Structure 1
């Protein structure tokens, strides 16, 4: 044999490096498998971006209720209060077009502001009954909210002179101008 070839055949360092590389690769594969199994990720796993979307939806809903509760100059009631006063207690499913005018106007604002960017909503009105306990009825209903829905609310005070159409809402103080307080609850979620 050639003397240089014999020296190469007797040198085991190449085999050691190969064995070390194979062992390291196996350890890395086991580490990756362990990490993937230890942290399950599903489509419903909450993430920072998902929480940011919920926060954005909540802010939009809150801002929308604030704007709708603003009384324009020359008017006596806000668009939100007009719709509540004209509402007869009937639940409007989906995107029906058979609302009273002020409720239709309110629905149009919600549709333009929310449905355009893929946000669904339900509007529920809570009121105090004769026993001073809270009851509620759906005003605008677009389906069952997802698990990631957010809820924003706004209180609206109704007075005797508002002549409310919903006869099921009691007058809590017949001897004063105060009629009842309504808690408008807007539930929002991504479609």
Structure 2
């Protein structure tokens, strides 16, 4: 009696081909996933220029939004004048009462990419030599780095002689005029020969 094993052989070949096909699909999926990985700045790999550009644009946008915030809501000018009043800014107050601090806390604190930041003020100093412009840099908030992945954005605030320093009205959750003249505080008169302008302050933010 003869036995026809051809169907079993064909079935075995089909199983083998299906196995190869499944293995090929898994392999291609792994290769695609490996090629799709983006190395974030600060992870020890190559610096991702796209992520850097995005971080820098977000920093610049944060500064613009803060600069144009309504009076009493913690604008850049109010932040500068608050620092001028005290010589420091409390970290919790920075995040709660000032627009820039709130944005940095929400978007750059603990995000993994650009999750650390520093804020500093750069302003003009009186110079004995009228042909030279001296500047002074004051750390305001956060820490600083030489990380090559760091990005920096800045915005210039003009202080006027008729402005006062600011303080926090904790009862109403607003920034208010302290009643103290901006003259004679942590920021010197950097433009003594210029009418109405007291100083020009660059608010500089670095994130990495």
Distance of 2:72 and 2:89 partners within structure 1? 26
In 1: Cα distance, 2:152 partner to 2:164 partner: 28
CA distance in 2, matches of 1:170, 1:133: 12
Off by >4 Å, runs of 4+ in structure 1? 98-103
Return the offset for 1:79. 1.0
Residue 142 (structure 1) shift: 3.2
Matching residue of 1:89: 87
Deviation at 1:170, TM superposition (A): 1.4
Deviations 1:21-52 (A, max 9, x none): xxxxxxxxxxxxxxxxxxxxxx64535xx111
* Structure 2, gaps ≥5 residues long: 1-42, 128-132, 166-181
Determine the C-alpha separation between the residues in 2 that align with 1:163 and 1:98: 19
- 1:99 deviates by 5.5
Q: CA–CA distance in 2 between the matches of 1:59 and 1:100?
A: 20
Corresponding residue of 1:120: 116
Aligned length, in residue pairs: 139
Q: Of Structure 1 and Structure 2, which has the larger fraction of its residues in helix?
A: 1
Shift of 1:188: 0.8
Identify if the C-alpha distance between structure 1 residues 101 and 86 changes in structure 2 by more than 3 Å, giving closer, same or farther.
Answer: farther
Aligned with residue 62 of structure 1, among 60, 63, 73:
60
Residue 155 of structure 1: how far off its partner (Å):
0.6
The 5 A counterparts of 1:34-53 are: 44-46=44-46, 50-53=48-51
Contact 1:91 1:138 in 2 (8 A): no
Tell me, yes or no, if the aligned pair for 1:124 and 1:137 is still in contact at 8 Å: yes
Q: Where do 1:1-12 residues align within 5 Å?
A: none
Deviations 1:69-112 (A, max 9, x none): 0143xx388611111111133265xxx33669745x54233201
Q: Judge conservation of contact 2:110–2:116 (CA < 8 Å) in 1.
A: no
Counterpart CA distance in 1 for 2:95 and 2:87 is 11
1:144 aligns with 2:142: no
Matched position secondary structure for 2:186: coil
What is the aligned partner in structure 1 of residue 206 from structure 2?
187
TM-score, length basis structure 1? 0.62
CA distance in 2 between partners of 1:110 and 1:124 (Å): 14
CA 1:83/1:187 → structure 2, altered by over 3 Å: closer, same or farther? same
CA contact (8 A) 2:96 2:102 kept: no
- Indicate the residue corresponding to 1:169 in structure 2: 187
User: Compared with structure 1, are the counterparts of its residues 163 and 108 closer, same or farther at alpha carbon in structure 2 (3 Å cutoff)?
Assistant: same
Between the aligned partners of 2:163 and 2:97, the Cα distance in structure 1 is 14
The TM-score normalised by the length of structure 2 is 0.57
